[in-house]
């Protein structure tokens, strides 16, 4: 017995033309006209001839169309999701996270902060002439010790010097070292400082080894810094 195409026409009745195959999706028999096909365009670019190469499928036309619509929707949803994730990652891990949420997360998790001091040398005039230099420490503020991160420095100056990078113990200060100007453009020197443990006095001292403005935390460290902070705050394992 010859099987007729079972694809429904707009009128509501089956097509009925001699079937050439059966849909692998809904099992309907389909004729040549109602065989699903997908087309892809080939060409050399804008303004050049293009050819549509059709690939015949083992689906009936309605199922093929439905599948293509679903695939397009999936691709679109995936794109939206990818964009959302990328944005979330940027917010969570990027510079924005460090500026806006890092401290709140550490405070909320009650991660202990340590006292951080700065060291300065003072010249003292002796009573009977001459002078001597004494080292003093001054409380700068509280901060969280985050571990060793890469800083870069430019040692250019009247005597030349070498540029370079080094991995140093880094702390995030609880408050900016100096008030941040309105036009603040991304120097991290007000938030992060290099520190060293002064074993003798058992306190953390800022190591201003280089000229303030030419000693910066490397911008590529922002991601690992954020990760370290989130880890300290118990937000990631």
Least distance to Zn ion, CB of residue 60, Å = 3
Q: Residue 180 has what DSSP assignment? A: P
Least distance to Zn ion, CB of residue 55, Å = 16
- CA trace torsion 138, 143, 144, 146 (10° rounding): -70
Site stretch for Zn ion (CB under 5 A), options 1-9, 117-125, 178-186, 224-232: 1-9
Give the residues across from 50 on adjacent strands.
Answer: 43
End-to-end CA distance of the chain: 67
Candidate list 29, 34, 168, 217; residue touching Zn ion; CB under 5 A? 34
Candidate list 21, 57, 63, 193; residue touching Zn ion; CB under 5 A? 63
**Closest CB to Zn ion among 15 and 228?**
15
Least distance to Zn ion, CB of residue 1, Å = 17
Report how far apart, in Å, the C-alpha atoms of 191 and of each of 9, 11, 180, 217 are: 70, 72, 10, 10
5 binds Zn ion (CB under 5 A): yes
Residue 169 C-alpha from the chain's centroid: 23
Question: Would you say 93 and 226 are in contact if contact means Cβ atoms under 8 Å apart?
Answer: yes
16 sits in the region (left: phi over 0; alpha: psi -120 to 50; else beta) called left
Give the contact letters, 8-27, x = binds to Zn ion (CB under 5 A), - = no.
-------x-x-----x-xx-
Least distance to Zn ion, CB of residue 64, Å = 8
Candidate list 29, 35, 60, 177; residue touching Zn ion; CB under 5 A? 60
Least distance to Zn ion, CB of residue 12, Å = 14
Question: Would you say 3 and 33 are in contact if contact means Cβ atoms under 8 Å apart?
Answer: no
Give the contact letters, 72-111, x = binds to Zn ion (CB under 5 A), - = no.
----------------------------------------
Give the residues across from 217 on adjacent strands.
Answer: 151
Q: Where along the sequence are the contacts to Zn ion (CB under 5 A)?
A: 5, 7, 15, 17, 23, 25-26, 28, 31, 34, 60, 63
């Amino acid at each position: 017995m010859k099987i007729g195409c079972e694809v429904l026409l707009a009128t509501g009745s089956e097509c009925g033309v001699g079937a050439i195959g059966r849909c692998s999706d809904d099992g309907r028999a389909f004729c040549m006209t109602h065989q699903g096909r997908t087309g892809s365009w080939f060409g050399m670019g804008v303004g050049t001839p293009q050819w549509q190469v059709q690939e015949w499928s083992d689906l009936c036309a309605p199922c093929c169309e439905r599948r293509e619509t679903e695939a397009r929707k999936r691709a679109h949803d995936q794109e939206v999701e990818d964009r959302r994730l990328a944005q979330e990652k940027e917010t969570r891990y990027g510079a924005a996270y460090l500026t806006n949420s890092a401290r709140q997360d550490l405070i909320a998790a009650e991660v202990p902060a340590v006292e951080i001091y700065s060291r300065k040398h003072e010249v003292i005039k002796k009573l009977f002439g001459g002078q001597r230099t004494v080292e003093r420490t001054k409380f700068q503020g509280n901060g969280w010790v985050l571990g060793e991160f890469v800083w870069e420095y430019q040692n250019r100056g009247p005597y030349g010097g070498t540029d370079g990078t080094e991995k140093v113990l880094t702390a995030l200060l609880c408050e900016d070292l100096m008030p941040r100007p309105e036009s603040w453009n991304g120097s991290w020197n007000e938030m992060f400082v290099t520190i060293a443990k002064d074993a003798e006095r058992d306190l953390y001292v800022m190591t201003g080894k280089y000229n303030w403005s030419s000693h910066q935390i490397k911008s590529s460290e922002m991601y690992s810094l954020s990760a370290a902070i989130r880890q300290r705050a118990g937000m990631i394992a």
